[in-house]
Structure 1
């Protein structure tokens, strides 16, 4: 404790000296940096930030402009908050903002150097992105698993139906997480929550633990050099959880390799089969390591399980709170699908209002409300200089709720995404490819989310099925509490728990 105290006194003194020099001995000529609110010593702008970061940044942007500089303790970042500035970052100067910085939990990540999602823009990242687009997450690969997604959707409806028959509450947050986790596990590694090993269930718990611990460590960035002391042992816990994940996936890799050695016929290759094929290919453009494989699958679980589950919760919450939209969607499903079978993925193209509901949900509640990039070289954005190595956060939550871009931006109005709507960009209907810079639910450009297609497949079918088969009653009152969760996350502050009431039973 004496050495901790000594270090703290030294650090505090050094910081005050640095602050004094920077504040009172400024050179006459100053670089025109982005505007910034008045800050306090040590804590910077922490006193201006509430628990919901995207909302806090949006409120500050109203006063300090669409590009501003914020300091949270020892961490400084630049925040973009409207479509015009987002376009500068994602398109006009895309190459300069094509890398992502390491932050938070990076030093405790056992696959450091193998992460696709946070990899620097270079040969490895380009190879993995090409692999995603041409094989791993390409439409032909996703089409091979249509029956898997359909089976998991049926299991979701059956589970909710059992709650309806018993007249008990249904925790949709848990149901959706199981649904997305099983779907991704089966597509990635041909395993689900079944059998004695219960691999998918264990993966679900490990991912939940890792996300929670990584979130706590990301807050540690405000401590600067002090975070290396890991006062709460959160870093050690994260390493422990990741090592458990490593052992589990190593066993599944071994099982896949043994099947290949035995010459077993694989009817359809899952993601791990494809990755192992490249791992064993001496002529591959880039040789993958097993850590690369494990890390990529972990990124898939991180990006696809909780985020997709949260988006579906938001969709159901908004629909329950808006009976007009709920009934309009049900009428569309009844007209197109009928009442003698469950909605299928192939029906979605004929259900424009369902597509509009999901689009509007992602506008109001993006799965990644803050997209982080790193500036490679000094450049000018929105008239201000952004220094090299600066962290840049694009607040897509604010971009997609900007009253200059959207009519009644905080209202749930799926109709704005219908073909007849006047709320379009140019001559083109809204899309998910990130070229309409006021609508960026999956980012934009080279670093746009490669898993958007699978997320949309999973969401449309599940939300459509639960509207088709059930009415919903809120436990306390008539409205779902749509308060957002804290931190960087996109989930609800409170799990979505409701009474399902059978409207249609297609499993008699």
Structure 2
């Protein structure tokens, strides 16, 4: 196992790297270790950890990075040295999409980020339309592209929660908004066009919201609109607020919630397709769901995380696992790999929902980041702020043929192949929607 300082000169010429860095694979000139990451980086890094250990040093081009692939190493970073890893790296793409880094997700840890997190803690569930569609398809024995409909559902949830309205009122608009969310995660011309469409949509919605707020004030109505956008506009107008929000802050923050919460939530629900591949577990789930809904969600989050890796950036020098990690090093927590660690999970690649259920029928694990071998929402100050909303998402499965669970490349964890199912209604809440 070569250490970086043994071959640093072969990558970047004469090197001054003399630190005790973690072990590292051999790098190439210019591209560093990009050739080893492949189309699905979290899987490639997991394989590398099998050879090089739970903490690996690598380069994305010339950017120094480390990746943690074990619960113990993740705890070192996320808890013991948490204050050294509270920031997220900013790239040119991120800076452009977030109106000059005026957002919440990539904002440096400090007063602004803390203030915005307070505002972010809100919930809303809207599943009636989705349930009605499933019932209609079940009656007609028609197949449904489950992933597509789940993205539309979560898009509507996020739209309603953040802006008090659904942005996709018909099929054409729905497709446009869904494509917008996906394009915002892309690069180049497509990403720039998506940002422009998002900005146009936000300008229209903000203008409508401001007109409604003005009318309410003129007519003496004191009932607030009670959505996130209304809260943000109120804060922006409050001269005594501890943080002065600009329109760029507002639009960037809405983008974080809107694009970040749509496909991740849909993918997490869609991953319950594992039940289709395990009929015996599906039957158990059907029996249990009538009493307690959601006992299988823990196993879904272990095997199929919506965000397989969490990225941070070190703000100061520190020591992890005995290695020296310099400031401004990009840090990846491989949540996907940690959920498959054989030291902590018996038969880690098997789908066994019952592993979480104790004799009293309750889970022995906390999903909010206190058990570092199971951190679907990561942990610490910069854990996913949408955890409360995510844990309220539910879906029921059905019998059927084997489902291909292959993963596709992406910032989140999309399916390589669409999940097409014929729904079957079996719960009274579905039947009551007729």
Structure 1 and Structure 2 fold alike (TM over 0.5):
yes
Output the CA distance in 2 between the equivalents of 1:257 and 1:487. Answer: 36
In structure 2, the residue matched to 1:344 is: none
Q: 1:45-93: CA deviations, max 9, x gaps?
A: 3343332211110110011111111224334311111011111110111
Aligned pair count reads 420
Contact 1:110 1:242 in 2 (8 A): no
Whether 2:57 is the aligned partner of 1:48: answer no
Aligned pair partner of 1:406 in 335, 345, 352: 345
- The yes-or-no answer on 1:255 pairing with 2:208 is yes
- How far does the alpha carbon of each residue in 1:136-192 deviate from its partner, in whole angstroms, 9 at most, with x for none? x2xxxx3xx4xxx2xx32221221222233333210001101111111111211212
| Superposed displacement of residue 44, structure 1 | 2.8
1:482 equivalent in structure 2? 405
Q: Which moved more, 1:490-499 or 1:395-404?
A: 490-499
Partner of 1:329: 285
Q: CA 1:440 to 1:323, structure 2 compared with 1: closer, same or farther past 3 Å?
A: same
Is residue 183 of structure 2 the alignment partner of residue 209 of structure 1?
A: yes
Cα RMSD for the two superposed structures? 2.5
Deviation at 1:372, TM superposition (A): 0.5
Q: 2:319 aligns with which of 362, 367, 380?
A: 380
| Alignment match, 1:433 | 368
Larger helix proportion, structure 1 or 2? 1
Q: 2: CA distance between counterparts of 1:432 and 1:171?
A: 29
User: 2 CA distance for matches of 1:422 and 1:182?
Assistant: 34
Tell me the alpha carbon deviations over residues 111-148 of structure 1, each in whole angstroms, 9 at most, x when there is no partner: 11312101111221122123334xxx2xxxx3xx4xxx
Counterpart of 1:10 in structure 2 is: none
Distance 2:205 2:15 in 1: 59
**Which residue of structure 1 lines up, in the alignment, with residue 230 of structure 2?**
273
Shift in alpha-carbon separation, 1:456–1:423, aligned structure 2, 3 A: closer
Relative to structure 1, the CA distance from residue 488 to residue 184 in structure 2 (aligned partners, 3 Å threshold; closer, same or farther) is closer
User: Which range moved further: 496-505 or 411-420?
Assistant: 496-505
Say whether residues 1:455 and 2:390 are aligned partners.
Answer: yes
1:245 equivalenced with 2:198 (yes/no):
yes
- Segments of structure 2 that go 5 or more residues without pairing to the other structure are 1-7
Q: Match of 2:129?
A: 155
Q: Is this contact kept in 2: 1:53–1:488, CA < 8 A?
A: no
| Matching residue of 1:226 | none
CA distance in 2, matches of 1:241, 1:400: 34
Which one of the candidate residues 251, 262, 265 is aligned to 1:305? 262
* Cα distance, 1:355–1:419 mapped onto 2, change above 3 Å: farther
Match of 1:109 in 2: 97
- The 2-side partners of 1:455 and 1:285 are apart by 29
CA distance in 2, matches of 1:188, 1:64: 44
> SS at 1:356's partner residue?
coil
Whether 2:30 is the aligned partner of 1:91: answer no
Higher deviation after alignment, 249-258 or 66-75: 66-75
What do residues 212-256 of structure 1 show as CA deviations (whole Å, max 9, x unaligned)? x1xxx4xxxxxxxxxxxxxxxx1x432222122112111111111
**Alpha-carbon offset, residue 312 of structure 1:** 0.6
Q: How much does 1:421 deviate?
A: 8.6
The answer for the alignment partner of 2:416 in structure 1 is: 493
Structure 1 residues 21 and 256: CA distance shift in structure 2, 3 A = closer
Give the C-alpha shift of residue 194 in structure 1.
5.8
Distance 1:186 1:200, change over 3 A: farther
CA contact (8 A) 1:415 1:421 kept: no
Residues 2-39 of structure 1, C-alpha deviations (whole Å, 9 max, x = no match): xxxxxxxxxxxxxxxx955856x667x93111100122
Q: Distance in 2 between matches of 1:373 and 1:294?
A: 23
Residues 63, 448 of structure 1: alpha-carbon distance in 2 compared, 3 angstrom cutoff: same
Task: Say which SS state the counterpart of residue 77 (structure 1) adopts.
Answer: strand
Q: Distance in 1 between matches of 2:310 and 2:332?
A: 5
Which sits farther off after the overlay, 121-130 or 446-455?
A: 121-130
Counterparts of 2:10 and 2:304, CA distance in 1: 41
Indicate if the aligned counterparts of 1:80 and 1:393 stay in contact, CA closer than 8 A: yes
Spell out the pairing of 1:220-231 with structure 2 (5 A cutoff): none
Distance 1:242 1:389 in 2: 28
Cα distance in 2 for partners of 1:190, 1:98 equals 31
Match of 1:131 in 2: 119
Structure 1: gaps spanning 5 or more residues: 1-17, 218-233, 337-350
